[in-house]
Amino acid sequence: MSTFLVLTVIADDKPGIVEQLSAVIAEQGGNWLESRMSHMAGKFAGILRVSIDEEKSNTLVSALASLSSSGIVVNAEHSKDAGDTVSSKDLTLNLVGNDRPGIVREVSQTLAKLGVNVLELTTNCESAAMSADPLFRTVAHLRVPQDFESDELTDALEAISNDLMVEINLD
């Protein structure tokens, strides 16, 4: 029977990290299912999901831990990979506003209060075209109950600040 592992990875960025990870996973009989990886501030960081026969999972976790001698830190968590039991729909949120400390907290508090599950969150800061003032941008993939009113979410997010531009699309 297969089990699923969710791995988090961090290392000083250098060529070959993904190759080393994939080699260990393949050598232990694991199957690399999905991943999100990125370079940030000189570090390589990633999260990935692997399936493996349950009786081989501990051996894989030990083999991944040995990558620490190469400067690659891997943490592994077992996952049931259960599907949603409640009828839901997915939304994509695009948000732009003037950057300031606490904006992620304010947005995430609003999402939590409305029972919105964040599936994926990407944020960045960039200079505004005309003024060069820092702009905060986020794209978030969200899961909400089937009867969720996206206008309520738009109103709640726009209430945080009058400079936030909010766009929500049904996936």
- CATH number for position 65: 3.30.70.260
Kindly report the average pLDDT of the chain as a whole number.
91
Extract the tokens encoding 121. 């969150």
Q: Which residues pair with 5 in a beta bridge?
A: 50, 78
Report the domain count for the chain: 2
Burial zone of 111 (CB within 10 Å; 0-12 exposed, 13-18 middle, 19+ buried): buried
Distance in angstroms (rounded) separating the CA atoms of residues 49 and 25:
11
Report pLDDT for 171: 65
- pLDDT tens readout for residues 15-53: 999 999 999 999 999 999 999 999 999 999 999 999 999
- pLDDT tens readout for residues 119-130: 999 999 988 778
Distance in angstroms (rounded) separating the CA atoms of residues 64 and 48:
13
Q: Same structural domain for residues 25 and 52? A: yes
Predicted confidence band of residue 8 (pLDDT cuts 50, 70, 90): very high
**Buried b / exposed e along 16-48 (16+ C-beta atoms within 10 A):** ebeebbeebbeebebeeeeeeeeeeeeebebeb
Query: Are 144 and 91 contacting, i.e. CB atoms less than 8 angstroms apart?
Result: yes
Q: Same structural domain for residues 18 and 47? A: yes
Report pLDDT for 84: 55
A 10 A CB-CB count for 153 gives 20
Asked whether residue 82 carries a pLDDT value surpassing 60, the answer given is no
Last residue within a domain, chosen from 79, 106, 125? 79
The single-letter DSSP state of residue 15 is T
For residue 62, the enclosing domain spans: 2-79
- pLDDT tens readout for residues 104-118: 999 999 999 999 999
Q: Same structural domain for residues 149 and 93? A: yes
Asked whether residue 83 carries a pLDDT value surpassing 60, the answer given is no
Dihedral-angle region of residue 32 (phi above 0 means left; psi in -120 to 50 means alpha; beta otherwise): beta
Extract the tokens encoding 107. 């947005």
Report pLDDT for 35: 96
Q: Same structural domain for residues 37 and 104? A: no
